[in-house]
Amino acid sequence: MSFRVGFGFDVHRFVKNRELVLGGVKIDYEYGLLGHSDADCLVHAICDALIGALGIGDIGELFPDNDDRYKDIKSLFFLKRIKDYIKEAGFKVLNIDTTIVMEKPKVGKYKKAMKNNIASALEIDPDIVNIKATTTEGLGFEGRGEGVSAYAVAALIEDL
């Protein structure tokens, strides 16, 4: 049985006049994230982890930020497309583990909705999606409140 692991990482800076979207959930905050799409840092990290496990490049290659089709698009669209790549390759998601890094806002009350959105886009059980959040104790760009980073690890297993 074939088994694959991929790692993803993404960063976006905070800006005024944008919504903050993480895991497909709009989070009430005075800043949003700058990006070509909705700049969902968490979903982008998951996309890269899944794409990495498949060995088919990265999110920028599959969904370039200079392609107007993806301007302001919800990043969950990318996950739905990647679900198709996973299926075509003969795999299924075994699990996804993520970490969101930012000082504020706190995201604990949004984590269940994030898990459900991610699981729905990938057509998997929410129990195999884990979302953690941490701060940097005031250190670095996240600690200064300049932006968000997210990490993700995804495991795929052959779908027999």
Q: Model confidence over 42-80: pLDDT tens digits? A: 999 999 999 999 999 999 999 988 988 889 899 999 999
pLDDT tens digits, one per residue of 10-20: 999 999 999 99
Rounded CA separation 47/33 (Å): 17
pLDDT tens digits, one per residue of 112-156: 999 999 999 999 999 999 999 999 999 999 999 999 999 999 999
Per-residue burial over 57-80, b = 16 or more CB atoms within 10 Å of its CB, e = otherwise: eebeebbeeeeeebeebbbbbbbe
Specify whether domain 3-158 bears CATH 3.30.1330.50. yes
The predicted model scores a pTM of 0.96
Domain boundaries, the chain: 3-158
96, with CB counted inside 10 A (0-12, 13-18, 19+), is buried
Rounded to a whole number, what is the largest CA-CA distance in the chain? 48
Tokens representing residue 133 in the block: 């959040």
Rounded CA separation 98/108 (Å): 13
